[in-house]
Each structure stands twice: as C-alpha cells, then as structure tokens.
C-alpha cells in the first residue's frame, strides 16, 4: 500500500503542478498573498512582511514557502501558488494515513473521495492560505488518530508539527481545531490512555517555542499595529462580527452548514449511512468517534464565526473522505466492487479537476484586471510614483499593485503631493483638478496624470497646533 501511496501522490503532484502558472494572477485573493511574497523576496522581511505598506493579515508560513520557491526557481505566479499544490499532496497523504487499519483498499478510496470534491481542486490551485492551513490540521489530526491507535513517536511528531504549522499559517485557530477534536473525542470515548499517548513535553515545547517565538518577534517588529491586525481584527473581530466584520453576521448566517450539506455531496451521505448502521446495532469504534469528532468540531467552530466562507470547511474534508471509505468497507464488498467504487471516485475527481481549470480561467477573464493593467503599464514610467484616492476600491489597489509591480499607497489628495500619477474613482476624477485621464476602463478606477507641480494650487496651511488633513 505504501507503493500505491507514492504512485497516487506522484500523479496528484503532476496534475497540480503543470497548471499553476495559468491563468496569471489577476484577482484580489491571490494578488494579496502575492504582494506579501514579493515583499519577502525583494526586501527580506521574513518576520513580519507587509503588502503595500500594510501588515499582512495572516502569519507567514504560506509566504515563507512561496518566497523560498521564488528564490530557488525564480519569482512567478506558479511559485506563489506552489505552497497550495504541495499542501494538497500533504493532505492526500494525511487522508491515506488516517484511513489505514481497515480494509486494504480503504486508504485508496479515501484519497479518491478527497480529490472528488470541488473545494479540494479549487484551493489546491490558488495562491491562498486555506489549503496550507487545512493540510496542517489534517497532518495534526491524522497523527493524533494514529497515536491513539498505538503508533509511536512519528504520530506525535505529526500532531505537534501539524499544530505548529497550522498556527503559523492562520493563527490560533490552528491549535483550537486539533485540541477541540481531542477534547470531544475524549469526552465521547473516555479513552484517556489513548489521548495521554499523544503527550510529549519535548515536542509540545518545540511547537510552543516556534509559534510563540514568531509571535514575539512579530509583536516586536509591528507593535500595536500587529496586535490590531493579526490578533484583534483577524481573530476576535472576525469571530464576534465587530469592526470590518459587523455586516457579515447577517450576510454569512448559515453559510457554513449549507455549504457542508451541498458542497460535499454525495460523500457526506456516509454520515446518514453511519447513523443508520448505528441504529441497527452496528459498532461504533474509537476510530469512528475520532473521525466524527473531527468534522463536528470544524463545522461548529466556523459556523459560530461572523465571517464565513465555504472554504473554511476544507480542514474537515479528510474526515468525510475516510468515513465514506469506511462506509464502503462496512458493507464487505468483494474486490471487484471496491475497484468499481474507486474508479467512480476517480472519474468524479477527473471531472472536478477539468471543470476547476475551466472555471478559474473564465473567472480570471471576467473578474481579473489583467487587460487594464497592461494598458496602464504602457503609459506609466518605470520609476513613477503611483497613489490611489480614498474612493478607489481596495480590490483595484491590490490587484493593480501586483500586476504593475509597484506599490500603490493611499493618499487623501493624490495630486496635491509629489505623485505624478494617481488612481481615481470614475465618479470623482474631476477632483484631480486639471489631471489628464490616461486609462479609462469600466472595470477599474481611472489612471490620471497629475498636472505639473508648478500649475497645482498651493495646499492650504493648517493652523498652528492642528494636524495636516492630507494623506
């Protein structure tokens, strides 16, 4: 079976690596992470990188991997997306390991089911932190399951290293999810001896040293701004619906449960099958309890948050895949039916893969700003300073900053300062006062050339003791 795992992982890696460079990054989610990676590659800001002057909203493990790939292979869209592809392979391995111990073909079917989901391929091919985070959680929980079942030091290493990687990818949630699963499993199974086997002071200490060490270094580098962005805003505010997330509570209500019901079909029907077998007097093993605790904790945790995205369910995909494979195993099918089930899952996976490639290309063409950026690049001098007026959408600022390969900072009155070029909202371009419109495209803000400095009106001087209102 280990040979089968190597072959499956190799095929998965090949399927993921070749399309990473296309389509070019031209939408906000990927451009945001790409700007952080570029900052590390060019300026060596490994502890607390920024994007266009703003502290990155997530810890830097994803960006570290992408920056190292860029240093080794040369910066490109593909190297920015590479961490997600590698993490997808890691998640497949973790799923295989979590499914071991039952019928011989259970691990292969579990991996086939994992890849036969829409969310898997989408996250594996985009430059966002979600797949890296989910893979780290999967490694931690697969290690915990194997450790409870009697595996040795390798299982404990997987648990603690997975927790550290998850925290360094997305913050405290990386520890909350594995710990929550273990607590629910312990309360359900009363298997104190199994959980105690996971404890390792050296490994726990190493994980704490790595994660807390980075947080301490980042707090020293970023001060109050780091606390406000990565601790308060991205964790507390996102959870309770405060600040920038105030409107998300009503807009995102029930999104996670509905996504769980729909996005994981038909594989989540294994939960109904498990319930029916349980009512019929079927056994509920310790492995079953752990796998159910896995998906329940992830589902409940993210359902409670004010900000909800369906991709938040990605960490529970391995548990559903293994439960679906175990549902087949419980029916004691002959090998021929096992092979048919695996073949069906592979066919669905292939279809999902093909559709994902088509959809991401279409989305980049429809929502991306590649054509706008090309037009702007033709008229912008290489060393020209470019600023953005307050009303320019953040999406435009981030994506154009990535595509034009230059920082775009905000300014309250863009043409009052030294900047020669500025982005204005389409409805407010007249506020530039004599500026020349260079690029006018309905998909993005207008690019204007500010009037010469000599012809600009002198800015008003604020009274003594007051602050200058200009950005």
Q: Are 369 and 442 in contact (CB under 8 A)?
A: no
Eight-state DSSP code of residue 243: G
Instruction: Please tell me the predicted confidence (pLDDT) of residue 469.
Output: 34
State phi, psi for 309 to the nearest 5 degrees. -135, 145
Beta-carbon contacts of 84 under 8 Å, excluding residues fewer than 6 positions away, are 62, 123, 124, 125, 126, 127, 128, 130, 131, 132
CA–CA distance, 388 with 131 (Å, rounded to integer): 32
State phi, psi for 270 to the nearest 5 degrees. -60, -25
Q: Where are the domains of the chain?
A: 2-366, 370-455
Q: Are 412 and 470 in contact (CB under 8 A)?
A: yes
* Ranges under pLDDT 70 in the chain: 1, 241-253, 427-433, 453-471
Beta-carbon contacts of 148 under 8 Å, excluding residues fewer than 6 positions away, are 185, 191, 194, 195, 197, 198, 286, 290
- DSSP lists the bridge partners of residue 449 as 421, 436
Q: What is the pTM of this model?
A: 0.91
Instruction: Please tell me the predicted confidence (pLDDT) of residue 467.
Output: 38
CA–CA distance, 414 with 181 (Å, rounded to integer): 51
Alpha-carbon distances of 329 from 146, 391, 426, rounded to whole Å? 19, 58, 60
Alpha-carbon distances of 175 from 162, 204, 348, rounded to whole Å? 9, 12, 33
Nearest one of 256, 253, 262, 376 to 306, comparing CA atoms: 253
Q: Are 256 and 302 in contact (CB under 8 A)?
A: yes
Instruction: Please tell me the predicted confidence (pLDDT) of residue 363.
Output: 86
State phi, psi for 449 to the nearest 5 degrees. -100, 120
Q: State the pairing for strand pair 408-410/386-388.
A: parallel
- pLDDT, tens only, 254-274: 789 899 999 898 999 999 998
Q: Largest Cα–Cα distance in the chain?
A: 87
């Amino acid at each position: 079976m280990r040979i089968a795992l190597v072959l499956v992982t190799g095929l998965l890696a090949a399927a993921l690596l070749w399309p990473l460079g296309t389509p070019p990054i031209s939408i906000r989610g990927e451009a945001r992470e790409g700007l952080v990676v570029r900052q590390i590659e060019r300026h060596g800001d490994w502890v607390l990188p920024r994007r266009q002057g703003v502290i990155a909203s997530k810890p830097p493990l994803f960006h570290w991997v992408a920056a190292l790939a860029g240093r080794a292979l040369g910066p490109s869209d593909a190297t920015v997306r590479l961490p997600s592809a590698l993490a997808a392979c890691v998640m497949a391995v973790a799923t295989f390991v979590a499914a071991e111990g039952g019928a011989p073909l259970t691990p292969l079917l579990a991996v086939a089911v994992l890849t036969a989901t829409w969310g898997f391929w989408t996250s594996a091919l985009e430059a966002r932190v979600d797949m890296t985070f989910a893979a780290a959680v999967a490694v931690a929980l697969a290690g915990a399951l194997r450790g409870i079942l009697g595996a040795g030091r390798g299982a404990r290493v997987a648990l603690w290293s997975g927790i550290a990687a998850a925290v360094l990818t997305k913050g405290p949630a990386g520890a909350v999810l594995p710990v929550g699963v273990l607590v629910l499993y312990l309360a359900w199974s009363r298997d104190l001896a199994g959980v105690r086997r996971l404890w390792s002071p050296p490994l726990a200490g190493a994980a704490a040293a790595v994660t807390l060490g980075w947080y301490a270094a980042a707090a020293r580098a970023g001060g109050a701004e780091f606390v406000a962005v990565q601790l308060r805003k991205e964790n507390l505010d996102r959870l309770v619906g405060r600040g920038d997330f105030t409107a998300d509570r009503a807009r995102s209500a029930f999104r996670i449960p509905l996504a769980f019901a729909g996005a994981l079909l038909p594989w989540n029907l294994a939960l109904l099958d498990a319930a029916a077998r349980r009512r019929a007097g079927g056994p509920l093993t310790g492995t079953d309890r752990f796998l159910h605790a896995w998906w329940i904790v992830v589902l409940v945790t993210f359902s409670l948050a004010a900000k909800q995205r369906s991709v938040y369910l990605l960490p529970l995909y391995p548990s559903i895949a293994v439960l679906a494979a175990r549902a087949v195993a419980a029916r004691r099918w002959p090998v021929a039916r096992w092979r048919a089930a695996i073949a069906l899952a592979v066919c669905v996976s292939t279809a999902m893969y093909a559709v994902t490639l088509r959809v991401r290309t279409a989305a980049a063409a429809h929502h991306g700003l590649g054509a706008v950026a090309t037009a702007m690049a033709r008229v912008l001098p290489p060393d020209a300073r470019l600023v953005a007026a307050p009303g320019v959408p953040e999406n435009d600022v981030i994506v154009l900053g990535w595509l034009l390969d230059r920082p775009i900072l905000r300014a309250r009155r863009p043409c009052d300062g030294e900047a020669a070029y500025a982005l204005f909202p389409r409805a407010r371009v007249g506020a530039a006062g004599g500026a020349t419109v260079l690029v006018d495209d309905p998909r993005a803000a207008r690019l204007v050339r500010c009037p010469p400095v000599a012809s600009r009106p002198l800015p008003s001087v604020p009274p003594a003791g007051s602050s200058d209102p200009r950005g």
